[in-house]
């Protein structure tokens, strides 16, 4: 136990106040939801400011607030820069968002696109990949809640994990995507102000010179630009970030929800605004050695440094910032994954003639089910956050080329798209276990590209875009 650790009672009070505030707001925002479009896609008319804020806040997650410091602590300068390159996912999704809205004006999910573009085999591979990724991300967010509370307070890991899950499930359940987007707006303001303040205190209290001197003596590889594992990690993270965004229904559902002409501008702006944030959050991890801190788990380094700098009041502050970041991602993921399961599994496969009201009820049940499943897996605490997230990199990076070619290359067929996703995922997982988590995404993406290219060169078919319109 350290001198900045919050007492259990203080931590519980913050949790309750924070949780009740989000839940009441979710209920208030969702009270006028009448149709599935209102609930799942916020009426398909979200404006530029809210659209930009929700895209940015959703992308500021446990990854940014906990994993960016972890990767900086492990890979130094390359870790920090490499992590910020995940912004490329948002930036490059901007032209796709416009295209998606144009091609599928009444679409609901990323699964809709894959099914109609490539057929059933590719759709099945895509759904499995999407669900593995969504569960991995949800579990990492639940774990992050537990780690956050256990590193800053006397409360245990399971309490923290349960709290974040219960709060997010309830307000997503009550408010739907409208509540998710509105809370994201407030959360993004809290997060940005918070991380900038912490970085400023870090520079002020510790200083660049002390940090540099300490790193040079104690952790020299963190300043080494020829650090091999970190060099491997750089483009791996680029493709991991791109894969996450290009395939995930979190981003597709927003592309459908944003008003026409808003998607492209808002994704581009959100990406550019997000770019410096991992550098700011990652930077504070470099001060760990100067503060004589060595975290028991690498993913706890960010909150530990921040709390050591700011003391007990700071621990409360960090708690609110990181909890906002976690909540802003978890609610989005719960909403988007429940849409994917409702539309792609329940409506397409299980109950094709279900009425919109019945689908709305199913959607809510799925949110609760996802919350429970996440709790069960996160309770096992199988890996560090960084390792868990990059495990999903093997899955998502395999979808990049099938999605890009699905939109821009009419010759790729469903069989090769499915083969590219399956083979890419398997190769990425082999790389993950044989070499390390920092090569999974890049290997997966490379093999997927190779198979797509073979498919395009051998293809005799030519897909016509108008057939995608529903």
Partner 1 sequence: MQSDNLYLTHNVFILLVGMFVSAPALDAAEQPPVYASNDGVKTISWQPDYETFNQLLILNTNGSVQASYPVISGQGWVVSGLSDGRYTLQLTKQNQERVIGTLEVEHYSLKSAVTLFGMGALMFAYLLYTLFTPRSTLPKHD
For partner 1, the binding residues (CB under 8 A) are: 1-2, 73-76, 92, 95-96, 102-103, 215, 217-222, 224, 226-232, 234-236, 238-239, 242, 289, 292-298, 301, 400, 404-405, 408-410, 436, 439, 442, 445-446, 449, 462, 464-466, 468-469
Taking the complex as a whole, how short is the minimal distance between the CB of residue 272 and partner 1, in angstroms?
16
Please, how many CA atoms are within 13 Å of residue 437, restricted to the half-sphere of its CB?
15
Cβ distance to partner 1 smaller for residue 8 or 219? 219
Distance CA 263, CA 437 (A): 32
How would DSSP label each residue in 134-178?
HHHHHHHHHHHHHHHHHHHBSS-HHHHHHHHHHHHHHHHHHHHHH
The three-class DSSP label of residue 48 is helix
Cβ distance to partner 1 smaller for residue 36 or 55? 55
Taking the complex as a whole, how short is the minimal distance between the CB of residue 296 and partner 1, in angstroms?
4
Beta bridge partners of 153: 6
Helix locations, 301-413, DSSP H: 301-340, 356-380, 385-396, 400-408
Taking the complex as a whole, how short is the minimal distance between the CB of residue 232 and partner 1, in angstroms?
5
**Two structure tokens written together for 371:** 């919350």
Cβ distance to partner 1 smaller for residue 24 or 454? 454
Decide if 404 contacts 111 (C-beta within 8 A). Answer: no
Cβ distance to partner 1 smaller for residue 104 or 273? 104
Cβ distance to partner 1 smaller for residue 208 or 408? 408
Taking the complex as a whole, how short is the minimal distance between the CB of residue 204 and partner 1, in angstroms?
23
Taking the complex as a whole, how short is the minimal distance between the CB of residue 74 and partner 1, in angstroms?
5
Look up residue 6 and give its DSSP letter.
B
Specify burial of residue 165 (Cβ count, 10 A radius: 0-12, 13-18, 19+): buried
Cβ distance to partner 1 smaller for residue 192 or 230? 230
Decide if 392 contacts 440 (C-beta within 8 A). Answer: no
In sequence order, the 6+-apart residues with CB closer than 8 A to the CB of 451 are 416, 419, 420, 423, 424
Cβ distance to partner 1 smaller for residue 169 or 385? 385
Cβ distance to partner 1 smaller for residue 186 or 229? 229
Q: What is the residue whose two structure tokens read 């510790």?
A: 206
Distance CA 267, CA 255 (A): 9
Cβ neighbours around 232 below 10 Å, total: 18
Taking the complex as a whole, how short is the minimal distance between the CB of residue 273 and partner 1, in angstroms?
21
Cβ distance to partner 1 smaller for residue 204 or 462? 462
Specify burial of residue 325 (Cβ count, 10 A radius: 0-12, 13-18, 19+): buried
Taking the complex as a whole, how short is the minimal distance between the CB of residue 271 and partner 1, in angstroms?
14
Cβ distance to partner 1 smaller for residue 73 or 123? 73
**Two structure tokens written together for 230:** 């970190």
Distance CA 395, CA 445 (A): 9
Distance CA 294, CA 287 (A): 11
Distance CA 73, CA 283 (A): 9
Taking the complex as a whole, how short is the minimal distance between the CB of residue 435 and partner 1, in angstroms?
8
**Two structure tokens written together for 421:** 């996703």
């Amino acid at each position: 136990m350290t001198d900045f650790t919050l007492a259990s009672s203080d931590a519980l009070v913050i949790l309750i106040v924070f949780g009740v505030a989000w839940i009441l707001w979710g209920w208030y925002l969702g009270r006028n939801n009448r149709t599935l479009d209102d609930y799942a896609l916020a009426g398909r008319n979200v404006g530029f400011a809210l659209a930009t804020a929700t895209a940015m806040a959703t992308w500021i997650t446990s990854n940014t607030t906990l994993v960016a410091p972890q990767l900086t602590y492990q890979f130094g300068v390359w870790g920090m820069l490499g992590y910020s390159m995940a912004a490329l996912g948002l930036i490059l999704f901007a032209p796709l968002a416009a295209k998606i809205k144009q091609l599928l004006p009444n679409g609901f999910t990323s699964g809709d696109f894959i099914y109609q573009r490539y057929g059933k085999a590719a759709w099945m591979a895509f759904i499995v990949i999407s669900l593995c990724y969504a569960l991995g991300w949800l579990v990492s967010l639940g774990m992050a809640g537990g780690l956050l509370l256990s590193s800053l307070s006397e409360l245990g890991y399971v309490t923290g994990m349960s709290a974040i899950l219960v709060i997010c499930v309830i307000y997503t359940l009550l408010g739907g995507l409208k509540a998710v987007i509105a809370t994201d707006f407030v959360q993004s303001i809290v997060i940005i102000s918070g991380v900038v303040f912490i970085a400023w205190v870090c520079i002020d209290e510790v200083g660049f010179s002390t940090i540099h001197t300490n790193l040079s003596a104690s952790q020299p590889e963190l300043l080494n630009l020829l650090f091999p594992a970190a060099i491997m990690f750089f483009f791996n993270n680029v493709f991991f970030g791109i894969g996450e965004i290009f395939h995930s229904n979190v981003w597709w559902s927003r592309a459908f929800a944003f008003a026409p002409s808003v998607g492209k501008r808002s994704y581009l702006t959100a990406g550019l605004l997000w770019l410096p944030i991992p550098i700011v959050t990652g930077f504070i991890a470099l001060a760990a050695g100067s503060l004589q801190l060595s975290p028991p788990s690498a993913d706890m380094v960010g909150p530990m440094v921040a709390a050591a700098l700011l003391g007990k009041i700071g621990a409360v502050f960090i708690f609110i910032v990181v909890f906002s970041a976690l909540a802003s991602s978890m609610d989005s993921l719960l909403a988007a994954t429940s849409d994917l399961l409702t539309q792609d599994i329940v409506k397409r496969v299980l109950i094709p003639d279900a009425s919109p009201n019945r689908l709305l009820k199913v959607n809510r049940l799925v949110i609760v089910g996802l919350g429970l499943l996440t709790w069960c897996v996160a309770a096992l605490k199988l890996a560090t956050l960084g390792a868990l997230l990059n495990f999903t990199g093997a899955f998502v990076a395999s979808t990049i080329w099938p999605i890009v070619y699905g939109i821009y290359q009419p010759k790729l067929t469903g069989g090769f798209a499915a083969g590219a996703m399956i083979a890419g995922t398997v190769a990425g997982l082999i790389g993950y276990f044989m070499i390390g988590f920092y090569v999974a995404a890049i290997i997966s993406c490379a093999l997927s590209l190779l198979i797509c290219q073979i498919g395009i060169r051998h293809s005799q078919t030519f897909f016509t875009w108008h057939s995608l319109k529903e």
